[in-house]
Amino acid sequence: MALSDGCSDCGLDINDEYAYMVHWQIWREAGRPKGCMCIGCLEARLGRVLTAEDFNWEIPLTYRSSHGRSERLISRMRFNRDGSPVVLSGIALEEWNLVLRELDNV
Ligand SMILES: [Zn+2]
């Protein structure tokens, strides 16, 4: 899937809303959207706000710091459902810390 295709529901074409991968169960629950979906439309389909557990942190797209992410997207990815911060290790942790550092500098 290309990052530049735009949201398949609202047509929003802002790359910083797509730099994530959710678990396949979540994608299936959302009706298996074709292509990319902005976080807002995915949440509308699910009827709830996403949290860190919903994202697939095995996939570099989810944590790689070189991808731009909106504050909305990052706010969903930062914390688990219980409010605790996402727990990562290795390269995912290093990259994610860079993402958060950039956010703090804005
Ligand atoms: Zn959308």
Question: pLDDT tens-digit profile of 31-77?
Answer: 999 888 999 999 999 999 999 999 999 999 999 999 999 999 999 99
Q: Tell me, yes or no, whether 7 lies in a domain.
A: no
Q: Tell me, yes or no, whether 2 lies in a domain.
A: no
Distance 17 CA to ligand 1 centre (A): 9
Q: Tell me, yes or no, whether 10 lies in a domain.
A: no
Structural domains of the chain, count: 1
Q: Tell me, yes or no, whether 79 lies in a domain.
A: yes
Distance 3 CA to ligand 1 centre (A): 13
Q: Tell me, yes or no, whether 97 lies in a domain.
A: yes
The pLDDT value given to residue 66: 93
Question: Mean pLDDT over all residues of the chain?
Answer: 92
How much is the pTM?
A: 0.90
Distance 90 CA to ligand 1 centre (A): 32
Q: Which residues surround ligand 1, an ion (CB under 5 A)?
A: 7, 9-10, 12, 38, 41
Percentage of residues in the chain having pLDDT higher than 70 = 94
The angle formed by the CA atoms of residues 63, 64 and 68, to the nearest 5 degrees, is: 100
Q: Tell me, yes or no, whether 31 lies in a domain.
A: yes
- Among 12-16, 65-69, 77-81, name the one with the lowest average pLDDT: 12-16
User: Which structural domain, as residue segments, surrounds residue 19?
Assistant: 15-105
The pLDDT value given to residue 1: 45
Q: Which of 20, 2, 15, 11 is nearest to 74 (CA)?
A: 20
Distance 47 CA to ligand 1 centre (A): 14
Q: Tell me, yes or no, whether 65 lies in a domain.
A: yes
Distance 43 CA to ligand 1 centre (A): 9
- The one-letter code for the residue type at 97 is N
Q: Tell me, yes or no, whether 3 lies in a domain.
A: no
pLDDT bracket for residue 105 (50, 70, 90): confident
